[in-house]
Amino acid sequence: MDIVANIAVTVLEQLQKPTLAFLIGGMLLAALGSKLEVPEPVYKLIVLLLLLKVGLGAGISVREADLWALAVPGLLAVAVGIAIVLLGRVTLARTRGVAEMDGMATAGLFGAVSASTLAAGMAMLDGEGIAYEGFIGALYPFMDIAALVTAIVLARMSAERRTARAPAGAGGTATMALGGGGAPGLDTAMVRAILVDTARSPAISALLLGLAIGLFGRPETVYGSFYEPLFRGLLSILMLVMGMEAWSRLAELRKVAHAYVLYGLAAPLAHGLIGFGAGLVAHQLTGFSAGGVVLLAVMAASSSDISGPPTLRAALPEANPSSYVGTSTGLGTPVAILSIPLWIALAEAMIGL
């Protein structure tokens, strides 16, 4: 009972912190019909600066990091991204009333990572004085790309199998991507195209640029004098925008099956537990910090809000954006951000902070 009470107290305390307060404030403004708007160019600039900050910080830390300490969490991040998509495949994508293509697109978006949620997690840990590995930002593309590629490839393979089973006269000749041996297999060109498109997406491009500059350049001066001081202020504006966007997206969920509502509410918590468990494994193997465990859970609980939607729209045009974007932005993102105090409290109870 003491552990439960401590977790509850920690969660309530975190809800009063600026990060979550701005998110909730944005939702309230939208619910009350406020006309407040943040111009799209300003929003994009804020996201760019936050991603560059995360990438630069990660690159600077990777330069000094032990290879083993970095490799283990990196491989676990890949495994978590893939596991989340596979879980969505056997749950949401198999639910009655949910089109398989829509379900897989939603699972891919929830397996990918939200830059804003990761930044919110970092800000909350910084506010509490909880240490975490500086290279955490470098794990973002590992989980993000693994999830998106897995979801798109599985969705495409499933669609090709259905086409192959269809009668030849029903809508055209049945075709299927073939591997080198003539058996149903992966279309390597398609996988390569997905990887390239994902790497070129705005979020991943900005993050990788910051990572490369931090790793091979010497950006400590500009990082300390510009990016670091602006981080929390910019994040508060981003949380305000995310709150308003989340409320507006809720209306889109009326167009799709109720299963998406349940998934949007439950998936961030289930996925966060998967990420938390992976973090505990890294903690045992490499001494991964409690703060790192929290942020791995935060990344797993989040759903992509920048790199994922355009990638999925291009690769899976048949999928309904109201399903995966509405579920992610309308429910998944606020639940993921509001669950950050839970991961902090669990880490405090199980590892000690």
Residue 177 pLDDT greater than 60, yes or no: no
Beta partners for 184? 178
Determine the pLDDT at residue 184.
Answer: 45
pTM (two decimals)? 0.78
344 or 310, higher pLDDT: 344
Asked whether residue 178 is domain-assigned, the answer is: no
Q: 117 in a domain, yes or no?
A: yes
Range in 63-72, 92-101, 181-190, 242-251 the model is least confident about: 181-190
* Domain presence at residue 113: yes
Q: What percent of the chain has pLDDT over 90?
A: 32
Tokens of 212: 């490369």
Whether the pLDDT of residue 229 is over 80: the answer is yes
> Is position 174 within any domain?
no
The listed range with the strongest mean pLDDT (148-152, 237-241, 341-345) is: 341-345
Residue 233: inside a domain: yes
Q: Is residue 202 part of a domain?
A: yes
Say which range, 6-20, 36-50, 72-86, has the weakest mean pLDDT. 6-20
**CATH code of residue 291:** 1.20.1530.20
Judge whether residue 173 has pLDDT over 70. Answer: no
Q: Is 175 within a domain?
A: no
196-206 in b/e form (b: 16+ CB < 10 A) is ebbeebebbbb
Looking at every residue in the chain, the average pLDDT score rounds to 83
In a domain, 194, yes or no: yes
Q: Residues 104, 151: contact at Cβ < 8 Å?
A: yes
Q: In which band, very low, low, confident or very high, does the pLDDT at 59 lie, cut at 50, 70 and 90?
A: confident
Q: Which domain holds residue 288?
A: 2-165+183-350
- Quick check: 194 and 315 in contact, CB under 8 A? yes
Q: What is each CA distance from 18 to 22, 25, 99, 120, 228, in whole angstroms?
A: 6, 10, 39, 10, 17
Measured CA distances, 44 to 67, 95, 167, 243, 337 (Å): 34, 36, 47, 16, 20
Backbone angles phi, psi at 178, to 5 degrees: -115, 145
Q: Into how many domains does the chain fold?
A: 1
